[in-house]
């Protein structure tokens, strides 16, 4: 719908304090994953040393490695720095890029901000560093900003990559190629089943934009109900509208619940032996580190599964608690992690933490 594309462009301009945005640069898709797949497929080419590579954060969204593999591109891992709250590190980006060359041809860098599943929120300086790095190395920026309205860290705000880019010199603002993604299902509204998302293209060649439009038209289009909900997400009720008070109350309650749950869960996890958790600033996950006893590690080897996967399977079987295993490509041996979703009712979170604590303390831990 042209109307929805214009609503999205207007929303982006408000979000970025007047930075221009145009409906023609906005593309609606049946969810964020569909849009990302279209872009990655356009990048895919070559084999061996010429195969397209995408610099990918570790940890990353759990669906991303399979998506890159399906598209025929090589995942180039760069490690986020855990003891700095899972920050993006410029030296690590340079190391990952140098290591990849000779094995593939890196063409893009994927950024998740706020981080999924880390909850890290980049500041202005960090974003600017990544943009300068992408410009110097001629890398396309793929920026996952689907949790941009779910920031609750004290003194933190989600600054868009586009806003930073457009406040830089013209050598960057007019040349760095950027794809920015947002999603109805991952936003504060959390309408997962309606399948709608969008991406904005910045400094992209018009012929490439034509191919993006063509590929999205031949893909599964976003349902009309999803597009209408997307319009509501970017153009919510205003003061004076009949639904304004109810809508505002629900949004503020959800954000407050996220913030309280994040603090409560982090304190609980850090109180368990053999577990540590960095504070989350945004998003809907915590990503605690887990030190496992040798028995579980050896059993996992015998069963040919990752040790944190086995831990989660045992937790589910014994306590009925479902957590995500944090195993990631390139994970350092001995560093296991879990993914805990905190976008739940406080009472539900308490039940999850009680089950996890009981299980963890019953012989499923290792001293630091």
Please give the Cα distance from 255 to 234 (Å, whole number).
17
| pLDDT tens-place string over residues 274-313 | 999 999 999 999 999 999 988 889 999 999 999 999 999 9
Q: Which of 11-25, 162-176, 354-368 has the lowest mean pLDDT?
A: 354-368
**Coil, helix or strand at residue 11:** helix
Taking CA atoms, 182 is separated from 131, 185, 224, in Å, by 19, 9, 17
46 phi-psi bin (left φ>0, alpha ψ -120 to 50, beta other): left
Closest to 141 in 3D by CA, of 116, 168, 176: 176
pLDDT band at residue 368 using 50, 70 and 90 as cut-offs: very low
Residue bearing tokens 């610099």: 55
Contact 117, 62 (CB under 8 A): yes
Whole-number Å distance between alpha carbons of 61 and 118 = 9
pLDDT band at 219 (very low <50, low <70, confident <90, very high): low
Average pLDDT (118-135) is 98
Q: Tell me: pLDDT of 335 over 70.
A: yes
CA 108 – CA 239 distance, rounded (Å): 42
pTM: 0.94
Residue whose entry in the numeric block shows the structure tokens 């018009």: 206
Q: What's residue 366's pLDDT?
A: 55
Task: Please identify which residue in the block is written with the tokens 């598209």.
Answer: 71
- Residue 78 has a CB neighbour count (10 Å cut-off) of 22
Overall average pLDDT of the 332-337 stretch? 73
Beta carbons within 8 Å of 292's beta carbon, 6+ residues apart: 274, 307, 308, 311, 336, 364, 365, 366
Going by pLDDT thresholds of 50, 70 and 90, the confidence category of residue 47 is very high
Q: Answer whether 176's CB lies under 8 Å from 183's CB.
A: no
- How far is the C-alpha of 341 from the C-alpha of 283, rounded, in Å? 9
Q: In terms of DSSP H, where are the helices of the chain?
A: 2-15, 32-43, 64-71, 90-100, 124-137, 161-166, 170-173, 206-218, 224-234, 244-270, 294-303, 307-319, 346-361
Beta-sheet pairing, 275-276 with 324-325 = unpaired
Q: Alpha carbon 11 to chain centroid distance?
A: 20
Residue 285, helix vs strand vs coil: strand
| pLDDT tens digits, one per residue of 133-175 | 999 999 999 999 999 999 998 889 999 999 999 999 999 999 9
Taking only the tens place, the pLDDT of each residue in 54-102 is 999 999 999 999 999 999 999 999 999 999 999 999 999 999 999 999 8
SS3 content of the chain, % helix, strand, coil (to 5): 45, 15, 35
- Domains belonging to the chain, first-starting first, are 2-234 (3.40.640.10), 244-361 (3.90.1150.10)
In whole angstroms, how far apart are CA 261 and each of 191, 193, 257? 20, 24, 6
């Amino acid at each position: 719908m042209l109307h929805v594309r214009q609503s999205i462009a207007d929303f982006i301009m408000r979000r970025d304090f007047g930075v221009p945005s145009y409906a023609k640069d906005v593309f609606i898709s049946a969810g964020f994953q569909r849009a990302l797949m279209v872009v990655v497929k356009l990048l895919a080419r070559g084999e061996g040393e010429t195969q397209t590579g995408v610099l990918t954060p570790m940890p990353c969204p759990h669906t991303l490695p399979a998506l890159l593999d399906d598209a025929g591109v090589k995942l180039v891992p760069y490690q986020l720095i855990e003891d700095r709250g899972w920050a993006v590190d410029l030296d690590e980006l340079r190391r990952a890029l140098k290591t990849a060359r000779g094995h593939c041809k890196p063409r893009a860098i994927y950024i998740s901000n706020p981080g999924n599943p880390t909850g890290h929120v980049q500041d202005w300086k960090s974003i600017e560093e990544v943009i300068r790095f992408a410009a110097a190395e001629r890398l396309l920026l793929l920026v996952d900003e689907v949790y941009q309205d779910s920031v609750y860290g004290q003194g933190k705000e989600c600054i868009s990559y586009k806003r930073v880019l457009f406040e830089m010199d013209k050598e960057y603002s007019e040349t760095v190629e950027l794809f920015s993604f947002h999603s109805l299902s991952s936003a504060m509204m959390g309408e997962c089943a309606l399948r709608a998302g969008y991406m904005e293209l910045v400094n992209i060649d018009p012929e490439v934009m034509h191919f993006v439009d063509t590929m999205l038209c031949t893909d599964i289009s976003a349902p009309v109900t999803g597009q209408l909900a997307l319009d509501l997400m970017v153009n919510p009720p205003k003061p004076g509208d009949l639904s304004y008070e109810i809508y505002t109350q629900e949004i503020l309650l959800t954000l407050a619940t996220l913030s309280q749950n994040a603090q409560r869960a982090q304190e609980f996890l850090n109180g368990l032996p053999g577990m540590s958790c960095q504070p989350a600033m945004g998003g809907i996950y915590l990503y605690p580190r887990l030190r496992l006893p040798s028995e579980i590690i050896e059993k996992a080897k015998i069963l040919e599964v990752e040790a944190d996967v086995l831990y989660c399977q045992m937790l589910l079987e014994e306590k009925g608690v479902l957590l995500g295993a944090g195993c990631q490509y390139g994970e350092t041996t001995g560093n296991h992690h879990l993914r805990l979703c905190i976008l739940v009712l406080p009472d539900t979170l308490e039940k999850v933490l009680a089950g996890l604590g009981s299980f963890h303390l019953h012989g499923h831990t290792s001293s630091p």
